[in-house]
Amino acid sequence: MAQQNHDQYLEAMGIQTWRLRQSPSQSDDIRAEAPVAEAPITEADTSAGLDWPELVASIKGCTQCELHQQRAQAVPGVGNQQSDWMVIGEAPGADEDQQGEPFVGRAGKLLDQMLLAIGLKRETVYITNIVKCRPPGNRDPRPEEAAACEQYLKRQIELVRPKIILAVGRISAHNLLKTDQKVGAMRGKRFEYADTGIPVVVTYHPAYLLRSPAEKRKAWQDLLLARSVVAENS
């Protein structure tokens, strides 16, 4: 991508230059965050061995937790199902619930800009969420809701087999990595998802970046780290 295009995308993110600065202190965080308790899946894992059409149908018809009662539709995911990149957020919002696609509101537009800044178009990555149905009032997903969806996410990761997972936000990072660390403490590091060996990089959620634009430079550093991890594995 030409330098001019880089500058254009980074300017849209609110970043004046794209030179990587020194890694931030691990104590630098957005706020105190409550830990996410782990909860076992109480229902049988019905997603093992499913292909993409079967998995999507299973997600759309899921009734394993109470979220199905108020949803307009479930939101399985979107994008390139064989991508090197997998972006995982927390849960659908109102726009996603209506359109059936993750990250389509203002936060989604910023995510698109972030991906473009490292030369990736939205359709070239696979995007999904920890929870596939919208929590009422856009509240945080409860542990039992994330646990009910975990089998679907696990199967999606098995099918995509990405070279990098970008964990977007606290809920995503906590559920993927089974931790209660703050986002700021996880940034700038390389983790692995379960026992798969798939690298995980944690960054801020675009919705948070819209409220705190000064943190966009840190998100840019996270994207550069993720890109370097993919390059190492290519």
Integer Cα distance of 27 and 45 in angstroms: 38
pLDDT digits (tens, 9 = 90+) for 92-106: 999 999 999 999 999
Q: Which of 88, 56, 53 is nearest to 73 (CA)?
A: 56
Q: What is the pLDDT of residue 13?
A: 66
pLDDT at 233: 87
Query: Low-confidence residues of the chain, pLDDT below 70?
Result: 1-44
Place of tokens 């660390």: 181
- The values of phi and psi at residue 191, to 5°, are -110, 180
Question: How crowded is residue 121: how many other Cβ atoms within 10 Å of its Cβ?
Answer: 11
The backbone torsions φ and ψ at residue 212, rounded to the nearest 5 degrees and listed phi first, read -135, 70
Give pLDDT, residue 14. 64
Full set of structural domains in the chain with CATH: 48-232 (3.40.470.10)
pLDDT at 145: 97
CA Rg value for the chain: 17
Q: Would you state the pLDDT for residue 20? A: 40
- pLDDT given at position 162: 98
Give CA–CA dist 17/22, Å, rounded.
14
The pLDDT value recorded for residue 234 is: 84
